[in-house]
């Protein structure tokens, strides 16, 4: 049986799909944090744990949803049922354009 303190310590979670793999992550995480926690590497230049998130470099772009919208993963929060593709052809092309 769960105690009141155990319930208070539990964070709300959501189910997302990262590269077609089901993952259960904390609702307050960004896409980038969820991907890293699940073992999927997403490149980044401007993100640092101790600094405010700016999302300026656009290196962490990932493809989201069935239509494959480009999304800045370091500034976007996860949501229930979100589909995330970190290594799709479209994601890699988008990152390549950033590097040009």
Q: For position 32, what pLDDT does the model report?
A: 92
Which CATH architecture best describes the domain 12-99?
Answer: Roll (3.10)
Q: For position 19, what pLDDT does the model report?
A: 94
- pLDDT tens track for 33-57: 999 999 999 988 776 666 666 666 7
Nearby residues of 10 by Cβ (< 8 Å), 6 or more positions away: none
- pLDDT tens track for 70-100: 899 988 999 999 999 998 888 888 888 877 7
Residues 86, 18 contacting (CB under 8 angstroms): yes
**Which residues are registered as beta bridge partners of 52?**
none
Nearby residues of 63 by Cβ (< 8 Å), 6 or more positions away: 69, 70, 71, 84, 85, 86, 88, 90, 91, 94
Helix, coil or strand: residue 76? coil
Name the pTM for this structure. 0.79
Q: Which two tokens stand for residue 47?
A: 């993100």
């Amino acid at each position: 049986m769960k105690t009141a303190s155990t319930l208070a310590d539990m964070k709300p979670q959501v189910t997302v799909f990262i590269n077609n793999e089901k993952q259960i992550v904390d609702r307050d995480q960004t896409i980038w944090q969820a991907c890293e926690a699940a073992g999927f590497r997403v490149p980044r230049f401007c993100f640092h744990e101790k600094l405010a998130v700016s999302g300026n470099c656009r290196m962490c772009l990932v493809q989201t949803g069935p239509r494959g919208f480009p999304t800045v993963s370091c500034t976007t929060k996860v949501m229930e049922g979100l589909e995330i593709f970190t290594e799709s052809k479209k994601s890699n092309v988008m990152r390549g354009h950033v590097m040009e």
